[in-house]
Amino acid sequence: MIDRVVLVSMHTSPLLTPGEGTAGGMNVYVDELARAMASRGVEVDVFTRRDRPGLADMVEVSARYRVHHVTAGPDRAVDTADLAAFVVEFADGVAALIETMDPPPDVVHSHYWLSGWAAIVLKRRLGIPVANSFHTLGRVKDLTRRFDDPPEPLLRIATEHEVIEEADCVVASTPAEAADLMEHYGADPGRLCTSPPGVDHTLFHPGSRAAARRRLGLGDGPRVLYVGRIQPLKGVDVAVEAFVLLSRRIPGVELDLVGGPSGSNGEPELDRLIRRVHEAALSARVRFRGTMPHRALADWYRAADVLHVPSRSESFGLVAAEAQACGVPVVAARVGGLPDVVQEGRSGLLVDGWDPSDHAAALETVLSDAATAGVLSRGAVEWSERFSWPATVNRFLELYGGIAARVEL
């Protein structure tokens, strides 16, 4: 039986608003997983780096779910690429806190390559079994990155190999990610587990589009929605360029971009996109909405006619699953885990590559064909039912129990 689980998320906290800085789908994943585990009676402790002054050492989020802020490096935001210098210090701080726990944790589940590195340090020192979820893979990101986006550092690639070699289990969100782990990293299939994230169906479910638009102060015209961080990896440039083309074909169509700049190239990317929208004379129809609390996204999904997910790399695509749960069709790039999250022709449309004209054509199909949109909307709700946090927790408790038992033998 699993009594206590440690989740490690060094570079970003589950307490952050998605779309803010480094916060995105992974933050939602860690937070929702912790809440769902705690609701099942499991003690859950999440460890993240202290990235600003004044943060409490520990935040009691809910019964049995706590977030610990560990000092490692300066108490300010540090670019993710520069956090490697503080991994061992972070692991030292986590280890000191784990040694005070009663009962001790049964397993450490780390998230992202930096946290995986810290978790392997903990395993070597304390003998606690480790499961790791990468969420993104350096080699895979490099395959489809935009020409002006820098390659992933060699240290990341080397660390990913080491974590894959030493973790007791590597968790993939989709079969596509599992295949990437085997093809690009030589991962042992016997130590791979495929388990998709869930969706909170009490929050994300169908509702009145008109009512959602009234609450948000939006008009009645056709609407395209993008939700995610603003950076080249997420393909926001494709979303904007596709909308420029779409605006010439669909009268009155508008685009809402929900999310903020992320990473060292986030601010320049946002500035470039704002200039492009101004050049196209679309400032009145393209709105940069900034970041939103996760719960607020439900109304934005319901207010949209279609969600656009043009990511260049995506291990899962949580926003696509959430939008579908709200009955919103998705147009997505056929990359990574998105073909597993979006069922072609049933819950959305998949586009090969990142040519804006191809994405605009798919968006136009949804917006101009009411019958197709209706089929996709109904299919989206049905398809989304396969993603649930209770099912995810069941799989993880079984996984944790298995790797803990192997360590005890």
Q: Are 249 and 317 in contact (CB under 8 A)?
A: no
Q: What pLDDT shows up at residue 148?
A: 87
User: Are 398 and 351 contained in the same domain?
Assistant: no
Residues 66, 38: Cα–Cα separation, whole Å: 10
Domain assignment of residue 203, yes or no? no
pLDDT, mean over the chain: 95
Query: Model confidence over 130-188: pLDDT tens digits?
Result: 999 999 999 999 999 998 888 999 999 999 999 999 999 999 999 999 999 999 999 99
Q: Do 146 and 274 reside in the same domain of the chain?
A: no
Over 90: is that where the pLDDT of 374 sits?
A: yes
Q: pTM of the predicted model, to two decimals?
A: 0.93
Domain residues for the domain of 120 are 4-198+388-408
CATH number at residue 229: 3.40.50.2000
Give the span between the Cα atoms of 222 and 220, in whole angstroms: 7
Pull the structure tokens for residue 102. 């009663």
Q: Does 281 map to a domain?
A: yes
Kindly state whether residues 175 and 220 are assigned to the same domain: no
Residue 124: its pLDDT value, please? Answer: 97
* Distance, CA of 299 to CA of 386 (rounded, Å): 22
Pair (151, 252) in one structural domain: no
Please determine, for residue 18, whether its predicted confidence score (pLDDT) is greater than 80: no
Shared-domain flag, residues 357 and 332: yes
Position 24 pLDDT exceeds 90: no
Indicate if 65 and 43 belong to the same structural domain. yes
Note the pLDDT of residue 304. 98
Structural domains of the chain, count: 2
Checking if the pLDDT of 262 tops 90, the result is no
pLDDT mean over 287-296? 93
Cβ proximity of 347 and 330 under 8 Å: yes
User: Three-state secondary structure along the chain?
Assistant: CCCEEEEECCCCCCCCCCCCCCCCHHHHHHHHHHHHHHHCCCEEEEEEECCCCCCCCEEEEECCEEEEEECCCCCCCCCHHHHHHHHHHHHHHHHHHHCCCCCCCCEEEEECHHHHHHHHHHHHHHCCCEEEECCCCHHHHHHHCCCCCCCCCHHHHHHHHHHHHHCCEEEECCHHHHHHHHHHHCCCHHHEEECCCCCCCCCCCCCCHHHHHHHHCCCCCCEEEEECCECHHHCHHHHHHHHHHHCCCCCCCEEEEEECECCCCHHHHHHHHHHHHHHCCCCCCEEEEECCCHHHHHHHHHHCCEEEECCCCCCCCHHHHHHHHCCCCEEEECCCCHHHHCCECCCEEEECCCCHHHHHHHHHHHHHCHHHHHHHHHHHHHHHCCCCHHHHHHHHHHHHHHHHHHHHC
- 332/252 same-domain check: yes
Overall average pLDDT of the 343-367 stretch: 97
| 409 pLDDT above the threshold of 70 | no
Residue 408 has pLDDT above 70, yes or no: no
Are 380 and 393 within one domain? no
pLDDT at 11: 93
CA distance 337 to 162: 23
The pLDDT, as a whole number, for residue 20 is 64
